[in-house]
Structure 1
Amino acid sequence: MGKIFNIFTGHRDKDGKGITKEEAGNLEKLSFINFFKMFSIKFNNIVKSNALFFLCNIPIIFALYALAGFQNIITRAPTDLLYPNIYGVIKYEGINTVTAALNSHFGIFAELSVPSKATMVLYAISLICIFTFGLANVGMTYLLRDSVRNKSIFIWHDFLGAIKKNWKQGLIIGIFDITIIYILYYDLISFYYNSSSFINAMGFYAIVFIALLYIIIRNYLYLLSITFSLKISKIINYSFRLALLGIKRNILALMGIAIVIYINIVLYFLIQPLGVFLPFIFTIGICGFMGVYASWPVVEKYLVKSTKNDNEKIKPLYEYESDDESEESKS
């Protein structure tokens, strides 16, 4: 029971030698090779962050239950649009050789699942996630950022503390984030099913490009909101600029995120229960960790260090510690 309790308490007393001071120093360089080392070391934090993210977004379970269709009304409907006309002919002419043949061809029925009132109530409850989504991202990003910075974290305390300190920005950015995701998803579906013309096909690829760019941009949205005291407009502006300034790291992170999601989708079709539960265990956390690992050095280079040198008029929410300052604080 003690081990289970320690999962979310942040208690870090463990058996094992851990890592040396020299190894910790080497990990401060957030390179491609060090990613795998840090990923293995911080995997426990990633899983915990993922769990807290979904715990904060618990109403999503109602949406998933509604999507499963357990509360839907099952009815039967003809598969051919001509059946109503054929049915009228049968009623008028009666059953004969011709109408029987027409009925056998056009009178094929299929089961149709229609959302019930209970299903709509479940969907309505899940809308709470519109307000919790940004807060959950703020808390998870804070934990992942300090994991990338190789700082000690207390899971519950830091997660809730980040939300408490940044709830206004997290709420607004979360609603903005969900809105953009919905618009991009709607446009992708619309252009995909109407891409017969050249213009619509080009529109589809343009939306794909914008969606990929936004995936990169959103890595910075929550990271900047928990790191600096900025207006929402500046957070969006800086996120776009940093996405371009760190394009190499961002593309690598985007490729890594795509691979993780692809593996999850493949597992869903091979072993459906596993594919369904993976996002609740670590898929979201791994994708978030990749995004923070790629974006934090860019933020540090263009904002944190420039802030310390007074080159940017940005008021940080925390006092960034250099190596020397960190050593002094430990003594």
Structure 2
Amino acid sequence: MFGRFMNNYYYGKSGKGDFRKEDLPQNRRQLFLDTLKTRLSGLCRINLMYMLIFLPAMIVMMFFFTNIISNTSNLMIMEENDYASYAEMVKENGQEVAVTEEQYNELRNSGINAGDLMDNELFRMLVWLIPCLAITGPFTAGLSYVTRNWARDEHAFIWSDFKDAVKENWKQALVLSAITSILPLAGYVGWKFYGNLSAQDIIMIVPQVLVVLVVIIWSISITYMHPLTVTYKLKTKDIIRNGLLLGVARLPMSVGIRLLHCVPALIGAALIWFWNPMIGMLILFAYYALIGFAISRFITASYTNAVFDRFINPRIEGAKVNQGIYTPEEDEDEENADAEGETDN
């Protein structure tokens, strides 16, 4: 009984159609809303699997953000108060004073400020995130395949199709995630390095801006790369090239989709900064644990399906276009086929 329940939970019921022909959506917006409503529970289930691979990255970010908030606030208090005032403030919050007066004065006179401490913690966090993000690529390919099918109203088994997509695309997806994991650190180091040089030579602002542009272009182009990986048989260099071309060619929409994905994180950051750090992080963690990753990938799949139908599929002989959307041409094709059949008879 339990085995049957788990099988239905992760595999679903085969042969169950989502729409009759006459009920097919008339446009992309309707297709997105209808498929989202149909697949919402499935998105929650697959998200529970996918979040496990992101758990190390989530733990690293929670740990370092907690350190940044705690340490910088303590350092700012130290800069503005003597030891007696500091100790009194700590005791009023129901905590124990962790440093002696000698250590307190040593920290105040060390020359370390809140900005330097934050820079150091951010650098360490980005280093730790490299392996945590690098391993996510193959699993992102699996999620991209399932959500791509669901977004165009095709069936996909949660576990078996996810697993097959991981096995088939893991090499290319791993290259994409490795680059994605390194770029934040490279961008941060480049920004700080050329920023320091620009204080002496204004021309160094040019490479500083170029570093930021590289990171931004990659972050919007990666939106297309995983869907390209699971949809077409392409070499890794062609996936990257086509992703970059689509990212730049569709720049306003590419930026809009990326900003849309950042909305939950920005709301969580606002809760952490302006309300309660611990509760804010728990709310953000709960969102991504329950559905955050899958809904983001589903939105991406709905968008990239439309882009591929417009720019790529019409150029491929035999490729289907506007899957899941009703078009009058389908009725004409069926009528022509029926007419040919009657003529043959």
TM range (shorter): 0.5 to 0.7
Q: 1:247 to 1:12 in 2, by over 3 A?
A: farther
Q: What is aligned with 1:166?
A: 169
- Distance of 1:239 and 1:218 partners within structure 2: 7
Q: What is aligned with 1:55?
A: 52
* 1:119-143 Cα shifts (integer Å, max 9, x gaps): xxxx999875455211111111111
Shift of 1:12: 4.4
Higher strand share: 1
- Distance of 1:173 and 1:46 partners within structure 2: 23
Any gaps of 5 or more consecutive residues in structure 1? 70-76, 81-102, 113-122, 310-318
- Distance of 2:268 and 2:206 partners within structure 1: 29
Q: 1:301 to 1:279 in 2, by over 3 A?
A: same
* 1:74-102 Cα shifts (integer Å, max 9, x gaps): xxx9x79xxxxxxxxxxxxxxxxxxxxxx
Instruction: Give TM-score scaled by structure 2 length.
Output: 0.62
1:95-174 map, 5 Å: 107=105, 129=132, 132-174=135-177
Shift of 1:188: 4.6
Q: What is aligned with 2:216?
A: 212
Contact conserved, 1:138 with 1:166, CA < 8 A, in 2?
Answer: yes
Letter in 1 for 2:28: L
Q: What is aligned with 1:275?
A: 284
Higher helix share: 2
Name the SS of the counterpart of 2:24 in structure 1: helix
Shift of 1:182: 3.3
- Distance of 1:253 and 1:211 partners within structure 2: 16
Name the SS of the counterpart of 1:152 in structure 2: coil
1:67-106 map, 5 Å: 67=64
* 2:158 maps to 1:175: no
* 2:308 maps to 1:299: yes
Count of aligned positions? 274
Q: 1:189 to 1:55 in 2, by over 3 A?
A: farther
239, 247, 251: which one aligns with 1:243: 247
Instruction: Give TM-score scaled by structure 1 length.
Output: 0.64
Letter in 2 for 1:24: L
Contact conserved, 1:49 with 1:144, CA < 8 A, in 2?
Answer: no
Q: 1:208 to 1:126 in 2, by over 3 A?
A: closer
Shift of 1:173: 2.3
Contact conserved, 2:54 with 2:133, CA < 8 A, in 1?
Answer: no
Q: What is aligned with 2:293?
A: 284
* 1:267-294 Cα shifts (integer Å, max 9, x gaps): 4444321123322222232332232222
Shift of 1:3: 10
Q: 1:296 to 1:187 in 2, by over 3 A?
A: farther
252, 262, 266: which one aligns with 2:270: 266
Q: 1:5 to 1:204 in 2, by over 3 A?
A: farther
Q: 1:186 to 1:295 in 2, by over 3 A?
A: farther
- Distance of 1:199 and 1:228 partners within structure 2: 43
Contact conserved, 1:195 with 1:201, CA < 8 A, in 2?
Answer: yes
* 1:164-190 Cα shifts (integer Å, max 9, x gaps): 111221222222222234323443565
Q: What is aligned with 2:43?
A: 46
